[in-house]
């Protein structure tokens, strides 16, 4: 039986309670950096899309997040996806983390890391990486499958010249489950490969497969302007 866990697109709006963000340049190194630590909160205004290389997909229509910036290149957040569903033929079912209400998937320890997509630094980028695997169960017509997602997602900063906000874009590659941007670089890591991998047990079983997350996001300052300098 083929499951379609269909997800269309992500608009991840993170509202940051810090005063500025900047892109700095030193020799061949350009990294986008937070200028201050502080708390942030936000949510999504679009649908989150997760797809595996065998065509399995998951859809979450909403998301909320609360967290803090811990250094000039790092942040930590709790992310909750809502109204998460999968489809098998014409049947829909909800996907839920253990201990959550139906249709909600929790990521309690999401790391936000700022850097670029290549080394030496090329395009400013953000790495989104859960500190532990994300596990949730999807149930359709009484049949349950438990999915485990590991790894990370790279989103490019699309408007480095904008002085008031930062737009992020996570793009799909040419094939199912493939992320367009797979290399990430920051001050502590040289061109590390970062991807998502998903496995499933229960009604639908498969070992770890390459996966992608596709969508766009927006970072906004609270009570101040996000400042970007090259």
Q: What distance in Å separates the CA atoms of residue 40 and residue 168, rounded to the nearest whole number?
A: 16
Rounded average pLDDT over 155-167? 70
Give 125's pLDDT tier (boundaries 50, 70, 90): confident
- Strands (DSSP E) found in 72-152: 74-88, 91-96, 105-116, 124-130, 134-140, 143-151
User: Which residues partner with 176 through β-bridges?
Assistant: none
User: Which residues partner with 26 through β-bridges?
Assistant: 29
17 has pLDDT over 90: no
Q: pTM score, two decimals? A: 0.81
Query: 120: cis peptide before it, omega within 30°?
Result: yes
Give 220's pLDDT tier (boundaries 50, 70, 90): low
Percent of the chain with pLDDT over 90: 38
Rounded average pLDDT over 75-90? 89
Question: Given this model, what pLDDT does residue 160 score?
Answer: 62
pLDDT tens for each residue of 36-47: 667 777 666 578
Question: Given this model, what pLDDT does residue 222 score?
Answer: 53
Give 121's pLDDT tier (boundaries 50, 70, 90): low
Give 3's pLDDT tier (boundaries 50, 70, 90): very low
32 has pLDDT over 80: no
User: Which residues partner with 214 through β-bridges?
Assistant: 49
């Amino acid at each position: 039986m083929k499951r379609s866990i269909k997800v269309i697109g992500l608009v991840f709006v993170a509202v940051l309670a810090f005063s500025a963000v900047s892109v700095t340049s030193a020799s061949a190194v350009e990294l986008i950096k937070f200028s201050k630590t502080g708390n942030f909160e936000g949510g999504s205004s679009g649908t989150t899309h997760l797809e595996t290389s065998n065509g399995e997909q998951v859809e979450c229509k909403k998301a909320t997040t609360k967290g803090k910036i811990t250094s000039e290149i790092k942040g930590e957040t709790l992310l909750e996806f809502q109204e998460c569903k999968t489809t098998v033929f014409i049947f829909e079912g909800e996907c839920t983390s253990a201990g959550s209400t139906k249709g909600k998937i929790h990521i309690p320890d999401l790391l936000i890391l700022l850097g670029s997509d290549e080394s030496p630094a090329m395009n400013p980028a953000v790495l989104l990486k859960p500190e532990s695997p994300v596990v949730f169960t999807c149930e359709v017509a009484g049949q349950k499958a438990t999915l485990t997602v590991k790894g990370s997602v790279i989103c490019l900063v699309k408007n480095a010249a904008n002085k008031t906000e930062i737009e992020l874009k996570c793009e799909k590659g040419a094939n199912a489950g493939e992320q367009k941007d797979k290399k990430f670089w920051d001050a502590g890591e040289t061109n590390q490969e970062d991807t998502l991998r998903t496995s499933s047990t229960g009604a639908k079983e498969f070992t770890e497969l390459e996966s992608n997350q596709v969508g766009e996001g927006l970072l906004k300052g609270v009570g101040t302007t996000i400042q970007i300098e090259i």
